[in-house]
Structure formats: C-alpha cells, structure tokens
Structure 1
Amino acid sequence: MKAVRYTRYGPPEVLGIHQVDRPVPRADEVLVEVRATTVTSAETLMRQGRPWWGRLIIGFTRPRRKWRRLGLELAGTVAAVGANVRRFAPGDEVFGFTGFGVGACAQYICLPETASVQHKPTGVDFEQAAAAVDGASTALYFLRDLARVRRGQHVLVNGASGSIGTYAVQLAEYFGAEVTAVCSARNADLVRELGADWVIDYQKEDFTDHHNTYDVIFDTVTACSFNRCRRALTSHGCYLPTTGLTNWLLAAATALRGGRTVKAGMSVHKREALLFLKDLIESDRLRIVVDRNYPMDRIVDAHRYVGLGHKVGNVTVTIAH
C-alpha cells in the first residue's frame, strides 16, 4: 500500500510517498481503508520538529520510526475486523482520530476497536467527515468540558476562521453564548454565517484594548497570552489556550488562586465527542468548512499551503485506491 513518510525534519519536501506493507488487524483491531484525511497545523510543526520540547517524544535529531508517519484525522470504510470486534463490520463507513498512533495519510490503517472512531455522519462525503474530527472535538472539549459555556455568557474566539475556530464559533452559539469572533476582514462574512454576533479584525484592532469583557476567551491559535487577556476577562472569566507548557503551569496556579483562570488541557479520547458531533452534523446544526482538497500525491503542496498559516477551516487530502 501507499503511505506518506518522512525520515528527517524539514520543509514540506521531506515528505514522500512510500510503498509499505498493508497492516493486518489483530483480534481487537479494525482495518480501515482510508478514503480521506487532513493536514493540520500541528502536523506541519511535527514535520519540522517543532516545538523543540516535542522532540522529547518524537525524536531529538530525527523522528523515531513510530513517528515517521502523518495523518491524525480520517474517514473511510472498514475493510476487515479482528475476531473480537463487535462495534464495526466490514463495509461500515467510519470517521475518527488516530491519537498518538498517527498514520492516517495512507491507504490503510489499523486501529483498536476502542479508538476514537464512530460511524460516519450521513449526508457528508469522506473529505468532509475527515474534516469534522479533531478541530470540532477540540472545540467541544474546551468549550463544553473545560469552560462549561452556558446560555447568556459572552465568548470570544481568537482565530475564528481556522479549523478549531470555525467549530468553536458554532458550538459557542449552540450552547447559547453571545459570540465575538477575531479573524481577518476577508473571513468576517464567513464567521458571521457560522453564528458570530460580533467580529473584530485583528489586523486593525486589538481585542484586549476594547472596553468589553468576556466570560471565556478561547485562543485557538495561542496568539495571545493570559497576561494580555486578563483585562479583557470578567472577574471570574477564563482564558483557554490550546498549546503552551507555560499555560499548563498557569492553569494550576490560577485554579488555586481563584478569580480569572487559565484552563488548559488536551483532548485525546474523542469517542463520545464524535458521537455528539455526528448528531449535530446530521441535524444540520454544524457546518464543516473545507478550504482546499489535495490528492495524496500532492501532499507536499498541501503541507506548504497549511504552513502559510492562512487556511480557512480545514485542508483535506483524498486517498486514492
């Protein structure tokens, strides 16, 4: 089978399509014929060996063998199941998240039956389904599980036109919050269509300089900091960063102190979230935004585009068979 691999850190050109053995599912595993995956900003950083502390896991001078694969989100068809699998059967259309296993940018992948995989939402194609996994489930985790957003609150989403941000705007609106979106002017109409009540053009204004205060500031691109956002938070507001070791320390410190807090975390187990999102998609309550689609043999171009930092929503990759 064909799979995307890289053996050294560097620009998109370090990626290549290799012929590798097709995996065989164990008793508790599902073999998925991958039809679509995505390219995330996180993967472009992994490919470069960034941030530096991430090399403690991936490899110091070059990626360890396990981490030479890419692809976190997937949609496809179950090709075979192990003897003990009960949740899925051959022919089932599924979508899901590989977690720390990566490797979805390939024609086939084996995943445990207990992995973050659910039956694909009806009414969407494989590319859309793959794009409805990590960004949407991450937004759900931060807004519902960490911040506990509820009706009447005021939520600001920084990076509102990105993969996490487009879902965050919709989910905050779904939970009944008043939503302020921060993005460039060219994406203002899009985020309004997704449910934003107010839009701030970050190229012209600094939302922390406004007189408005927010119950939740969701920094989906971690382009700001708790220090800067404190003045824009209500007295018991919370700042939600998606990355940063310092923010984990701040989360512990502010939890003890009370008042304005940082809430940091990581959403890896997504099975329940995917079921929740599947229901929203099938009831037309969640829109999937896809910026561009590339075939797998143009994976270098896909990484180059995502690396520019200007994608709107998601970038998907079609896996041909």
Structure 2
Amino acid sequence: MKAARNYRYGPPDVVRVADIPRPEPKAGQVLVRVHAAAVTAGDARLRAARYPAGFAPFARLAFGVFRPRRTVLGNSFAGVVEAVGSAVTRLRPGDRVCGQLGARMGAHAEYVPVAAEKVAVVPDEVSDDDAAGVLFGGTTALYFLRDKGRLTAGQTVLVNGASGAVGTNAVQLARHFGATVTGVTSGANAALVTELGAEHVVDHTRDDVTRLAERYDVVLDTVGNLSIEAGRRLLTPSGRLLLAVGSLGDTVRARGNVAAGVAPERRADYEFLLGLVASGELTVVVDRVYDLADAAAAHARVDTGHKVGNVLLHP
C-alpha cells in the first residue's frame, strides 16, 4: 500500500509517498481502507519536531530523538472496514467508520489497523471528509468547553483562534450549549466565524486580545499565545481559562480556574459530534483537500498558519 512517510525531521518536503506492506488486523482490530484523513497542527509539529515551549525533550524521547519513530503520521481518519479480526463482532466489512489513532498515528496511508472498540460508525448523512474533519478539532473543543469549562447556557465565551480546526468547532459547540460567543480571528475570516455562531468578532490584526475590556465566563485559547496571567485578566470572577495549546510551564501551573492538557479520544465523543453533523447542527469547515501524493503540500498549507478549519488527505 502507499503511505506518506517522513524518515527525518524537517520542513514539509521531508514527507514522501512510499510503498509499505499492507497491515493485517489483529484479533480485536479492524482494517480500515482510509478515504479521508486530517493533516493537523499536531502532525506538522511531529514532522518538524517543533513542540510547545518546554515539551521538546519529552516529545523527542517519546517520538524519536534523532529521527522519527512514527514515520507515517495522521491521527484522525474516516473510511470503510476492509477486514475484521477474529474477535470482532460489532463491525463487519463494508461498514463506514471513523476514529483516532493516538500517539501510534498512521492514518496518512491507504489502510490502517485500529482497535474495533475505538471506532465509531459514520451516519449515512455524514461524508467521509466531514467525519475525518470533525474529530481532532471537535473532540478538543468538546473536552475543554463541556468537561473542563463546564459550560452552561447563558454564559459568555471567548474563543481565541476561532477559524482553526479547534476554533470553528468551539464556536459552534459553545452556541449549541447556549453560550454567547466572541471569536478572535483575522478580519478576513470574520464573516465565517459570524456565520458559525459568534455574536461578536475581534480582529486580532487590529486589536490586542489581552487588552479587551470585556470579561468572559470561559476563555478558550486554541492558539497558544495567551499566558495564564493574560488569560485570567479576561475572566469574570468565576470564569475559567482553558488552554488547548500551552507551554510546559503553563500546563504544569494549570490549576484552580485554569485547565490544560490533551483531550481524550473517546468513541462516545465521536458519536456525539457525528450526531450534530448529521442533524446539521455542526458544520465541518474544510480548508483544502489533497491527494495522498500531495501530502507534502498539505503539510506546507498547515505550516502557513493560515488554514481555515481542516486540511484533509485522500489516500
């Protein structure tokens, strides 16, 4: 099978398409023929060994000190079950599924094996692109807003980075939960963020978010440019600061009304998000779609920092 691989750390052009053996599913796994896979900021960080401040030594130990241990990147995927392991009863060949692969990665390939219990069945109303696109940003936004922020109807939310993969989902989920949303983005993306449900938009190219006079019940930083001190100044007395991206120092100091960390990968969350997409309550924003042969171009697009929503690959 073909897969996008990077044998060394570096810029997008280190990603090359190569032929590798097709895997076989183990007893509790399914083999998925990948139809769509997301290329995320996380993939770009791993490819370039470019991590948030303080994380580099630990990430290098986990993913490879001198060269990548995981040469095929890609976490979020959607596709069709090609084969099932001997212990799998919930799924069968031909089922449309989606899921995430965690630190193991491997979705930027034609086929990927994955534990059957970790994939969700994709509703007929949801396309492969939308299923693959909603997972990374959607699960992150859901985890921080619902689980860490304990967001309730009537509260006010500031989403810093409202036009990215996490931000576009966060704006819509916050509205779904009954909050009033302010989105921070560039002026070029203001109309999109408003269409997704933000009642107010702050153009970060003109206004310094740290100097806003308004105070919010929840502040979600999806970019990584808000320190704990700056973020807390934007909160109401009972507000919560949520750092979806942060330095090691901020992550260690995240306590009290500050939460940080990595969103868990849970099938129940996939199913919740897929239900919202199927009903039309959640729009998956897709920036560009690339063939697997153009995986390096997909990484280059992510590296610009200007993608809107999701970048996808079609293996």
What's 2:102 paired with?
A: 99
The TM-score normalised by the length of structure 1 is 0.94
What's 1:36 paired with?
A: 36
Find out whether 1:60 has 2:65 as its counterpart. yes
Structure-2 separation of matches of 1:122 and 1:100 = 29
Per-residue deviation, 1:114: 2.2
Structure-1 separation of matches of 2:165 and 2:215 = 25
Q: Count how many residue pairs are aligned between Structure 1 and Structure 2.
A: 309
What's 2:298 paired with?
A: 302
Secondary structure of the structure 2 residue equivalent to 1:88: coil
What's 2:274 paired with?
A: 278
What's 2:193 paired with?
A: 191
Given that 2:126 and 2:274 are in contact with CA atoms closer than 8 Å, whether structure 1 keeps it comes out as: no
Give matches, 1:104-183, under 5 Å: 104-115=107-118, 117-183=119-185
Structure-2 separation of matches of 1:121 and 1:147 = 29
Which blocks of at least 5 consecutive residues in structure 2 are unaligned?
none
How far does the alpha carbon of each residue in 1:210-234 deviate from its partner, in whole angstroms, 9 at most, with x for none?
Answer: 2210111100111211111222111
What's 2:224 paired with?
A: 222
Structure-1 separation of matches of 2:250 and 2:281 = 32
Structure-1 separation of matches of 2:219 and 2:41 = 21
Per-residue deviation, 1:270: 2.1
Structure-1 separation of matches of 2:127 and 2:236 = 41
Given that 1:222 and 1:242 are in contact with CA atoms closer than 8 Å, whether structure 2 keeps it comes out as: yes
Which blocks of at least 5 consecutive residues in structure 1 are unaligned?
256-260
The TM-score normalised by the length of structure 2 is 0.96
AA matched with 1:22? R
What's 1:291 paired with?
A: 287
Structure-2 separation of matches of 1:229 and 1:74 = 33
What's 2:49 paired with?
A: 49
Structure-2 separation of matches of 1:212 and 1:242 = 21
Between 182-191 and 263-272, the greater mean CA deviation after superposition: 263-272
Given that 2:44 and 2:302 are in contact with CA atoms closer than 8 Å, whether structure 1 keeps it comes out as: yes
AA matched with 1:282? A
How far does the alpha carbon of each residue in 1:78-113 deviate from its partner, in whole angstroms, 9 at most, with x for none?
Answer: 001011112211000011111122000001010011
How far does the alpha carbon of each residue in 1:224-252 deviate from its partner, in whole angstroms, 9 at most, with x for none?
Answer: 11111222111121111113322222223
Per-residue deviation, 1:309: 0.2
Find out whether 1:90 has 2:93 as its counterpart. yes
AA matched with 2:85? G
What's 2:263 paired with?
A: 267
Given that 1:247 and 1:262 are in contact with CA atoms closer than 8 Å, whether structure 2 keeps it comes out as: no
AA matched with 1:314? N
Q: Percent identity?
A: 45
Structure-1 separation of matches of 2:130 and 2:237 = 39
